């Protein structure tokens, strides 16, 4: 089975923390949902029969107010269709780019107690994911 990524490794999270915290950031999110959400034993949603997509929707609903409170917005969202350049086995269900006014806002969100309760739905929902930080650049009519 290929490696799966749900949470950041300590090294990757440290690299994120070492970058400037006072400038806007874009976070590319790529999501592949589990067929059935997998909650830990004893969790209130354990065994509720939710799909991974439904569990992720719950994560979005319960974390959304915190995301908006810290100044986050979604600047792009899309549904996967096909890989043009990349491995044939690469497949995502959804993708989006979240914009934060600065990295400090992202840290404020993930440290929020209510967010930490909501993230269990994200973990239960995802078979695999990618979260990649970008420094926003200018749009335009060319590739460079």
**For residue 132, what is the enclosing H or E element?**
strand 126-134
**What pLDDT band is residue 2 in, cutting at 50, 70 and 90?**
low
Please tell me the CATH code under which domain 24-134 is placed.
Answer: 3.30.70.100
The DSSP result for 72-115, as a single string, is -EEEEEEE----SSS-TT---SEEEEEEESSHHHHHHHHH-HHH
**For residue 31, what is the enclosing H or E element?**
strand 25-33
Token pair 């065994």 is at which residue?
Answer: 47
Q: Residue 125 phi/psi, 5° resolution?
A: -80, -35
Decide if 129 contacts 30 (C-beta within 8 A).
yes
pLDDT, tens only, 87-126? 988 899 999 999 999 999 999 999 999 999 999 999 999 9
pLDDT, tens only, 31-87? 999 999 999 887 777 667 899 999 999 999 999 999 999 999 999 999 999 999 999
């Amino acid at each position: 089975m290929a490696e799966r990524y749900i949470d950041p490794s300590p090294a990757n999270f440290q690299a994120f923390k070492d970058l400037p915290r006072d400038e806007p950031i874009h976070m590319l999110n790529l999501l592949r949902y589990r067929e059935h959400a997998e909650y830990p034993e004893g969790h209130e949603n354990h065994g509720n029969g939710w799909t991974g997509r439904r569990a992720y929707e719950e994560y979005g609903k319960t974390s959304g107010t915190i995301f908006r409170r810290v100044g986050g917005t979604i600047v792009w969202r899309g549904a996967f269709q096909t890989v043009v350049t990349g491995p044939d086995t690469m497949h995502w269900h959804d993708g989006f780019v979240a914009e934060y006014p600065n990295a400090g806002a992202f840290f404020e969100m993930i440290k929020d107690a209510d967010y930490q309760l909501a993230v269990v739905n994200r973990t239960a929902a995802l078979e695999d994911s990618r979260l990649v930080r970008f420094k926003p650049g200018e749009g335009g009519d060319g590739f460079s």
